[in-house]
Amino acid sequence: MPGTSAKEDGVVLGTIGCTVHFHRVELGFALASAFWGEGYMPEAMKRVCQAAFEDDRIARVQALCDEENTRSSRVMQKVGMQYEGRLRKYGHHPNRSDIPRDCVMYAIVRGD
Ligand SMILES: CC(C)(COP(=O)(O)OP(=O)(O)OC[C@H]1O[C@@H](n2cnc3c(N)ncnc32)[C@H](O)[C@@H]1OP(=O)(O)O)[C@@H](O)C(=O)NCCC(=O)NCCS
């Protein structure tokens, strides 16, 4: 991640979860709000995508977020993922609603 102290002081800024399904990796991500807007998550996500494609078995890396979560959508776009569509009533996001929410799916595939 960019910056200096973040790398050197060992403070955990956020998390990226990776779930592998055969040829496919799904990423979930979150960053402490104090560090939003500094490009940390796109940089970290790019590195994770690169690492995933170093494994020849991986053909696709995907991520999704609530349809109104424009910050997360921007992260996925900046990583080079393409918008693939809307998953209706897919998400459970109690911070927004108790009702299942539409989500948007982004992905990058080998060769993009
Ligand atoms: C989504 C998240 C990871 C973004 O990480 P980040 O390192 O801040 O990403 P960036 O610095 O590249 O900012 C991404 C976009 O967020 C928006 N943004 C960032 N900081 C902002 C702020 N303080 N106010 C408003 N918008 C802001 C901008 O649109 C920015 O895109 P831009 O650079 O094209 O203008 C972070 O906002 C987060 O953890 N959010 C809460 C958890 C979450 O939504 N997780 C994802 C669920 S799938």
Q: Whose CA is nearest to atom 24 of ligand 1?
A: 37
Phi–psi pair at 100, nearest 5 degrees: -55, 140
Please tell me the distance between residue 36's alpha carbon and the centre of ligand 1 in angstroms: 6
Asked if residue 27 lies in contact with residue 14, where contact means CB atoms within 8 angstroms, the answer is no
Domain ranges of the chain: 5-109
| Pocket, ligand 1, Cβ cutoff 6 A | 28-31, 36-42, 65, 69, 71-72, 74-75, 78
Q: What is the pTM of this model?
A: 0.91
Q: Whose CA is nearest to atom 27 of ligand 1?
A: 37
Cα distance from N-terminal residue to C-terminal residue, the chain: 24
Q: Per-residue pLDDT tens for 23-82?
A: 999 999 999 999 999 999 999 999 999 999 999 999 999 999 999 999 999 999 999 999
The answer, yes or no, to whether residue 11 has pLDDT greater than 90, is no
Please tell me the distance between residue 94's alpha carbon and the centre of ligand 1 in angstroms: 19
Bridge partners of 87, per DSSP, are 103
Plot region of 61 (φ>0 → left; ψ -120 to 50 → alpha; else → beta): beta
Which of 38, 71, 72, 105 to mutate for ligand 1's pocket (most ligand atoms within 8 Å of CB)? 71
pLDDT at residue 1, as a whole number: 46
pLDDT at residue 4, as a whole number: 43
Could you name the CATH architecture of 5-109? Answer: 3-Layer(aba) Sandwich (3.40)
Three-state DSSP string of 11-69 = CCCEEEEEEEECCEEEEEEEECHHHCCCCHHHHHHHHHHHHHHCCCCCCEEEEEEECCC
